[in-house]
Structures are given as C-alpha cells and as structure tokens.
Structure 1
Amino acid sequence: MTGSVALDVVIGLVFIYLLYSLFATVIMEIISNWIGLRARNLKHSINRMLVDDEYKSQHPFFSLKVGAYLIGIVLTARDFLGLVKKSDKKKKLFFDFYNQPSIKYLSNGGIFTKPSYLTAGSFSKALLDSLKKDQVGNTPLTRIQNGINALAAGSDTRAHIQSLLDDANNDLEKFRVLLENWFEDTQERSIAWFKRNNQVWLLIIGILMAVSFDASTFKMAKKLSYDKEAREQLVKMASDYIKENPRPKEAPSDTLYEENLKILNEQKKEVQEQINSAHAILGIENSTFIAPWCGCFWRKLFDDFFGYFITALAISLGAPFWFDLLNKLVKLRGSVQEPTRSEQAKANIANSNQEILDVKA
C-alpha cells in the first residue's frame, strides 16, 4: 500500500469507470454495426457535399434555430428511411456517385448497404466518373466540364466544383488533388460530429448500465474508502490490467461485418468477465438489465440520482480518457512507493552495519 487511501480509492474508481466505458463502447459499436451508423454518417456528409443545403427554408420559422433543428431531424429521418426519390434532380450527382461500381461494392454487408469508409482517392475517382457519366467530349477534361455545366444552374455544388477546377487551371491531376482535400476536410468535421453523437449515446447507455449494475459512484467510493481488502484487490487488478494492456484497446473498424461482430462479442465477453470480478470485490450483486420503461428503473434511479448520473457521465467520457488517467495514476502510485522502499533499504543497511560493529566490540 502507498499509505494514501485517497489515491487508491481514486485508482479503484477510475479502473471501474474504464471497464464500464469499454463495455459501453463495445455495446455502441455493436449497435453501430447493426444499423450501419458509420455508413449513414458518411452518406450524410457526402450528401452535404454534393447536394445544395436542404436545411434552408424561406419560411421565417425555419430561420430560427429551433425550426432549423426540426427540419434537420425530418430530412435526416427521410434519408435514414430511404424515402428520397431517385428522380430528384437536385440529388442526381449524389445518386450517380453512390451508383459507381467503385463505391457501391465497398459495403461491408449488414442491414445498411452503403460503405462505412472511403479513401480520398476513391471519392475523387467516383466523383469524376459521375461527372463524366452520359457526357460527350473528346477528352476526359471536356466531359468533366460538360458534367459540371449539366448541374443545376446557380447551385452551390456546381459553383464549388467549378471553382476547384478553375483553381487547378484545368489540370486534371491538380483537380483530383483538390477534390481529395475537399473530402478530407469534410470528413474531419464529420468525424467530430460522429464522436459528439456517440458521446450522447454513451451517456444514455451509461445511465442504463449504472442503474442495472447498481453502480453508484457514491456507493463505490464509500466501499473503497472503508474496505481495505476490497481497495487493495481492486488496485491490484488495475495495476495488472495496465501491465497486460500497454495500449488502450480499440474497436475493429474496416473489417467485414460478420468478422466485426465476432470480434466485438469476444471483447464484450472479456470485459464482462473483468466487470464481474470487480463487482465481486465491491459486493455488487445486481447485473441484470433493467429496461427504462419499467417503473422500478426510475424508482431506483431517483433513489441515488447523482451517484448514478456521475457514473453515467464518466462512462460518456470514453475508455481512452480513463485508460490514460489510470496509466498516470498507477505510475504515480509506483513513484510514491519508491521512497518507502529506499528508506527500508537504508534501515536494513544501518542495522547490518550495527550488527558488524557489535560483533567487533
């Protein structure tokens, strides 16, 4: 032991938060695979690139933030359910893009048939092929220019693509590079939006987990503060975990759908076993999922609302955050122990020297 109960309590709590965050992340990834969340996010971002802003409206109500938010929800739901008409001329370039062989056969499978990931090179090739589609001309550049001219006059999409071609001085290779830069810039913002959206879902999953596991931060902190044996066992688990996992575990990304689910289920089983071990130490027996439509869920939640909410909030911060913090705390704990060992070593040497002096005397 370090002699610092507070430090060991914090290490124990951070380790629990890490395990819960890992479990919530795996659940979130499984859900994402089931409903094609990443594919939908990519489709939405490309729609924003190739289709003029659909979120605008001439009605004064929709100029307000609330109105814009509502129309955004409706349009997103429409895209999600696939209710967009293929005959919509404003979205012709978008539909042509996803119908390119280099795009439509990249799907991992599952419920959603659109790819979850695209490289910048794949985007530029598919977009150039879409612009050339059904166009006449002696050179690829001429066909591309005719394709741009065929887009709706006055549209922002047409103006932007034309400006990129002008910036490239009609050099096809430079134009391709500018298109790829455009895609990468858009994807950076799209990924940031995806992470924020995931954080909201992690908070919801976190609340369900906190109530189902009876994992109130206040209860766990109290247990660790007063139960020396539980505190030592959990700190040892945390130290062993850091030794065995020098880097945070990451969810699979671009593997096949079935392989993805297999890996995720294996990770889920592994984390569940570690959580069960931690629960045994903390004396937590309840690990049955409690549905939010059950009255007992809300009664239990409001019995210790802040304790459960703090746990849920911690889960929403994500496993990488807690892994890095736990790693630092374990190192700090080790550095605190070193002086203690040094002092003991000095004492042993002093005792040994005294014994030698006594013998000589």
Structure 2
Amino acid sequence: MFTRPELMQLRRQLKSTPTLSVYLSEDTDDPAQRGNGRRALAHRFAHLRDAMRDAAHADREALDRAIAHAEQQVRAIPVTACFKGWVAFVSEMGVQHSAMLPVPVPTEAVWGDGLWLSPYIRGLDYQCSALVVMTDSRMATLWRYRDGVFEVLATLEADVPALSASHLGAPPQQGFHPGTRGRTAADANARVRRVKAARLATEVADQLRMAALPDELILVGGIPAMAHAVASQLLEHEHAQAPVLAGLDIHAGLPEIATRVEVALDTWRLERRRALWHELTESGIVGAHAAFGVTATEAALRLGGVSRLLITEEFERRDPAATEAVVQLACEGDAQITYVGGDTAAHLQKRGAGIAARLRFPIPQPVA
C-alpha cells in the first residue's frame, strides 16, 4: 500500500489520463458467500461498457483494455482469500498500482481522468505504524510494526561482565584477607548490572527517538522495571506517546505482540480523533478557524483555506460522489484528511452532517 506522498505522486501523474479505479472486497468468512465481490465487480465492468456505448471507438477500446488488465489482476488473487479491501488503478497501458487496503471498501469500478481516491484515503488514515520495543535488563529488540508486519530495526545488549568471588588460587589481592569486611562480589555484580541496565534503557530511548517517524506511536514492553524506565526517559524528552504494554511477557511471540499493538493503535486513533474534535469545538477557534457542513467546508476548500478535512464513514456511504469531490479538493489544497469514528463521528454527524474542516485562516461563513 502506498504512503500518502506516493499516492499523491501517482495522482499527479495520472491526473489527465483515463484511468479505471477498481475497489473490491471479499470480507466474509462464509465460503458460500466468497466470490460475491468478484461477481459484483463484473457487473460494474458491464455497466461501464454500457455507459460508453455511444462514446468514440478509441475511448471504448481504451476502456476494454483497462478492464482486461484489471480482470487479469483480480484473477491473480486467490479465490479463497478473505480481505477487507483491494484496489487497482489501471490505464489502457496496464496496472499502475494495486494493493490490499486495511479497511472495508465498497466494490466499485470508476472510469475517468485521474484516480477515484476516497476509499484509498480512508485506508491511508488507518495505516498507522508503531515503534515497538521489548526489553529486559540484558537485551532489547526494536521493531517497526506496519500493515501487520514487524521489521527489526535494532537489537541492543547490555553486555554485563561477570565478577570473581575471590582470588581462588591467584596471588591474594593487596588488602585481601578472609576477615575483610565490605561488599561481596555478588553485591558488586548486582550494582554493575543495575548500571548496565540503566545505560541500556537510555540507549533504547535514544534509538527510539531517532527512529520515530512523525506521528508514530511508540510502545514499550518487557520486564516492567525496564519498560517503565524506557518510557520515563521518552516522556522526559517530550515524546507524549509512549505507552507501556503492561502484562506482556518478555518471551511473548510476535502474534501476541501484534494483537496488543493493534489494540494500542485503535486506542491511539480514537484519542487523536477526540483531540481533533476538541480543537474544533472547545479551544476557542470556532467560527474563526473551523467550518462545519458541506457548504461551508466546500467553500473553504475552494479557497485553499483548509489544513485538515474531517469526514465520517457515514457521510461517505451516504454520498460517495460528494465525498470524492471534497477529497479531491483537499488533495489540491494539500490538506490532511481524517476519517473519524466512534463518539467523535456521532458528534460530527450531529454538528456538521458528517463533514468539517480545520482552517488555515479565518473564512467568512457562506450565507444559507
């Protein structure tokens, strides 16, 4: 799946190119229902051909070639595969991009200049990555988790040396005799381990700060004392998102860690949406730097005054064409696009019929 910059680059490249945007979902565990998405897509292709029957011969041929490329790509997906969403952008020259999406999409095919973007954008909004570290006092492993896959970034070791209990046959050390009082070798060894563990926690925190991407969640797991030590150092350096994965054993396997990471990412998304809503409604910017509803938001988008567009999934389901129109305007104005869910979506549905915007500068509200 593309990142937003990659998707915007492809959008610019194909902006004036007749392109078939194909979305497909086979999100069912019932084998009897598997294949419904493919059958619905075949109907969409037939509808497109029917709509083009009065077009120029060259245009009909271009559509036929694009559909043929798309059908070949769909046949490459295993019939038994279950997936929330799949997308392909296809010109008459071939498939320009295809990917699995992390969100459910309506099965659809759209032919026209440029890309039909809104379902993909919603997928991007859920494409959060996380830096994950599992650590004990001797070793730490750092991963980046994205799209259900762990990428190892680093393995750090404390490298604790062992200490002798006595001279044991070697010439006695100066000042040593059986009655010498003071720390035992075990005490000294424990002290060295504590120092090494503290250094390891510092090194892990430094590595995480250097590796973190903008707006990336950092999650810390492992031995509680070490996990909290790393998290505390991150928070001291103003990294506000460093939750500890409490209760996750240092020997946990990647599937168990992935489950905990997904839960943490869902919670993080929800908190970020709530923060955005608070910013729009309760931070003193209402009226000056916020727009609610289709009319006000579209007006702000056309003026290039939107820094972030907020949409609910219900708004998209109710009016896909209107959603695509505002998404395209947001892309033209380089605005961030956020799909909101949960209680934030309920608030936005009530206040703005499912759409709102954070403005770059005050814009007079249109008169109804």
TM-score past 0.5 threshold = no
- Between Structure 1 and Structure 2, the one with more strand by share is 2
- The alignment's TM-score, normalised by the length of structure 2, stands at 0.22
TM-score w.r.t. length of structure 1: 0.23
